[in-house]
């Protein structure tokens, strides 16, 4: 039953042995059950909510005394069998709870009498279908709604108008929260909300009721590290009447379930995201599943207002798994989309010179931060040749050899870092970017400067930072919620399970002006033809 190609972790093995030793099975059946438990543990760690099982496996799991049927929820057990799926109990609970909560929100609200007039004021009447207007109509008449679309389709522009409309049509001012999975995504949403508010065709009073502050989901829910629990839950719900979550494709099953649990009765929830992007790092493909399960509550924005030309053609070809068309996009004369022809490390080092020049000349942090964020290297893998760790090390050595940085220790002026471990006390979270710079207020002592979602600048001693790493290059996963003018995508020299069309599409759509690709055609084609497939039961729960 076990796939000999699977590299089980020590945790998978220990967990399976722990369960099998406590089962009522013996000999061959006990060993078979241990193998089944090992598969469940492994596939959950790979992002699946559950595994598919046949009738023989179902009988074996139930005979162990450690699994119960899903229709017997009050019987505690570490495993749950539901139809042809086997879950770890916790993930079955998350999935089931999420479905129940969303189903309770899928009733249609009575549309206000003046809704069409109000929509005409915010969305210019047109003979063509205005997808943004249709999205607003769904969001206003439903308690739960999803607005999807690729880059530049106006998700944020639409939601700002929805917030104004809901405030206008409400009997009393609504208490609204804006959230995103990461600090970087929260910062982008906050900038966009602020930029779009001024153009709204509404009174200043309504405009003032639209919040501009965006928080991370963990801060909104009140994270209680190192536990997996939050301050806000079913017993202590959030006070908000409406919550908007941007970059919802990044939200995993557990976090989405806990968010729904924390909504008060009668609250609205609007999810924004691109369903074609990468699924969450942790278990589930929640946004993709919900858009498939709830078409009447989902509206896809189809017209791109700023993302076009060859970059869009490239992303569409990748997303539709057309590798030859996508490869041809890399050979156009304008080089907006192109293959990297020069040496990888020399090219990356050259792109850092403007940034390091500002550091050397003592420019202000805002200018340094802006120039650093103009260009980013995005890798498919963290480890291995052409992975993040490898490239960051080699770029540092190149810049040191060229005397653009001084490598006298781990910390040096100009070192960019990414936080990889949450620290609520310092308000620093996984994915936050900081720059190590001399602090003029402290006799040029090295400090690490960060800019939060509100634009506020904060600084910390390098020794006080949580776990972090150099970030001349980052993984495509970590880039979600970010945008850069110029992007270099780096794929490894051989195909691996991480490489998928969703990963490549996500990397491409981080770029605003240019994309270069460092990859062989064979690896590129294999990447485009490989697709993420996650095993879940969420869609089935809405049938």
Q: Is 384 annotated as a binding residue?
A: no
Q: Is 224 annotated as a binding residue?
A: no
- Compute CA distances 221 → 229, 244, 314, whole Å: 9, 13, 38
467, two tokens: 């776990």
Which residue in 347, 493, 368, 351 sits closest to 434, CA to CA? 368
Residue spans of beta strands (DSSP E) within 222-303: 242-245, 268-273, 298-301
Q: Is 149 annotated as a binding residue?
A: yes
Q: What is the DSSP string of 282-299?
A: SS--HHHHHHHH-GGGEE
Which residue in 365, 377, 392 sits closest to 450, CA to CA? 365
DSSP-derived letter for residue 468 is: E
Give the H or E element holding residue 80.
strand 79-82
The SS3 assignment for 82 reads strand
Cα separation, 44 vs 34, in Å, equals 16
Given a contact cutoff of 8 angstroms between Cβ atoms, the answer to whether 247 and 480 are in contact is: yes
Q: Is 288 annotated as a binding residue?
A: no
Residue labelled with tokens 């770890």: 88
Which residue in 108, 201, 116, 134 sits closest to 161, CA to CA? 201
Q: What is the phi/psi pair of residue 245, to 5°?
A: -115, 120
464, two tokens: 């006080």
Residues of the chain by 3-state class (helix, strand, coil), percent to 5:
40, 20, 40
Q: Is 156 annotated as a binding residue?
A: yes
Q: Is 507 annotated as a binding residue?
A: no
Under 8 Å CB-to-CB from 348, ≥6 apart: which residues? 377, 391, 395, 398, 472, 473, 488
Q: Is 512 annotated as a binding residue?
A: no
Cα separation, 3 vs 371, in Å, equals 48
- Compute CA distances 534 → 45, 94, 178, 193, whole Å: 11, 16, 28, 33
Q: What is the phi/psi pair of residue 515, to 5°?
A: -135, 130
Given a contact cutoff of 8 angstroms between Cβ atoms, the answer to whether 49 and 253 are in contact is: yes
Given a contact cutoff of 8 angstroms between Cβ atoms, the answer to whether 278 and 502 are in contact is: yes
Cα separation, 432 vs 421, in Å, equals 10
Cβ count near 484 (within 10 Å):
20
Cα separation, 70 vs 75, in Å, equals 10
Residue spans of beta strands (DSSP E) within 110-186: 144-149, 176-180
5, two tokens: 């190609």
| End-to-end Cα, the chain, rounded Å | 30
Which string of b and e fits 508-542 if b means at least 16 CB within 10 Å? Answer: bbbbbebbbbbbeeebbbbbbebeeebbbbbbebe
Q: Which residues are annotated as a binding site for ATP?
A: 149-156
Q: Which residues are annotated as a binding site?
A: 149-156
């Amino acid at each position: 039953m076990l796939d000999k190609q699977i590299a089980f972790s020590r945790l998978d093995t220990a967990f399976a042995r722990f369960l099998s030793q406590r089962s009522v099975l013996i000999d061959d059946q006990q060993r078979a059950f241990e193998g089944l438990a090992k598969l469940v543990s492994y596939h959950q760690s790979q992002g699946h909510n559950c595994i598919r099982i046949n009738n023989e496996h179902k009988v074996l799991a139930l005979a162990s005394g450690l699994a119960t049927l899903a229709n017997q929820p009050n019987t505690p057990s570490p495993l749950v069998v539901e139809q042809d799926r086997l879950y770890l109990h916790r993930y079955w609970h998350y999935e089931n709870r999420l479905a129940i909560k969303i189903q309770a929100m899928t009733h249609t609200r009575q549309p206000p009498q003046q809704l069409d007039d109000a929509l005409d004021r915010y969305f210019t009447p047109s003979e063509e279908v205005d997808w943004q207007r249709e999205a607003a109509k769904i969001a206003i008449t439903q308690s739960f709604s999803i607005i999807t679309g690729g880059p530049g389709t106006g998700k944020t522009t639409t939601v700002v108008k929805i917030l104004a409309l809901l405030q206008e049509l409400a009997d009393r001012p609504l208490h609204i929260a804006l959230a995103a999975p990461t600090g970087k995504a929260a910062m982008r949403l906050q900038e966009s909300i602020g930029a779009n508010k001024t153009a709204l065709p509404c009174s200043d009073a309504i405009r003032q009721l639209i919040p501009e502050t965006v928080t991370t989901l963990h801060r909104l829910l009140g994270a209680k590290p190192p536990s997996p629990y939050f301050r806000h839950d079913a017993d202590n719900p959030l006070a908000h009447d409406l919550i908007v979550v941007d970059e919802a494709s990044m939200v995993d099953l557990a976090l989405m379930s806990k968010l729904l649990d924390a909504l008060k009765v009668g609250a609205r929830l609007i999810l924004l995201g691109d369903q074609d992007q990468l699924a969450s790092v942790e278990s589930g493909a929640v946004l993709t599943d919900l858009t498939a399960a709830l078409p009447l509550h989902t509206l896809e924005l189809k017209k791109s207002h700023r993302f076009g030309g060859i970059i869009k053609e490239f992303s569409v070809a990748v997303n539709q798994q057309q590798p030859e068309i996508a490869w041809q996009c890399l050979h156009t004369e304008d080089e907006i989309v192109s293959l990297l022809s020069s040496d990888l490390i020399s090219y990356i080092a050259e792109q850092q010179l403007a940034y390091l020049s500002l550091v050397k000349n003592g420019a202000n942090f805002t200018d340094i931060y802006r120039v650093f964020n103009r260009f980013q290297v995005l890798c498919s893998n963290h480890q291995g040749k052409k992975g993040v760790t490898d490239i960051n090390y080699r770029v540092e050595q190149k810049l040191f050899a060229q005397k653009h940085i001084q490598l006298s220790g781990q910390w040096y002026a100009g070192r960019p870092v990414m936080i990889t471990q949450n620290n609520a006390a310092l308000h620093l979270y996984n994915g936050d970017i900081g720059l190590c710079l001399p602090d003029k207020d402290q006799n040029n002592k090295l400090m690490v400067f960060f800019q939060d979602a509100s634009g506020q600048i904060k600084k910390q001693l390098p020794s006080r930072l949580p776990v972090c790493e150099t970030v001349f290059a980052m993984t495509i996963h970590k880039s979600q919620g970010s945008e850069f003018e110029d992007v270099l995508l780096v794929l490894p020299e051989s195909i691996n399970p991480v490489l998928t069309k969703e990963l490549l599409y996500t990397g491409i759509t981080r770029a605003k002006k240019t994309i270069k690709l460092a990859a062989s055609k064979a690896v590129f084609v294999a990447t485009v033809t490989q697709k993420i497939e996650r095993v879940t039961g969420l869609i089935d729960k809405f049938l």
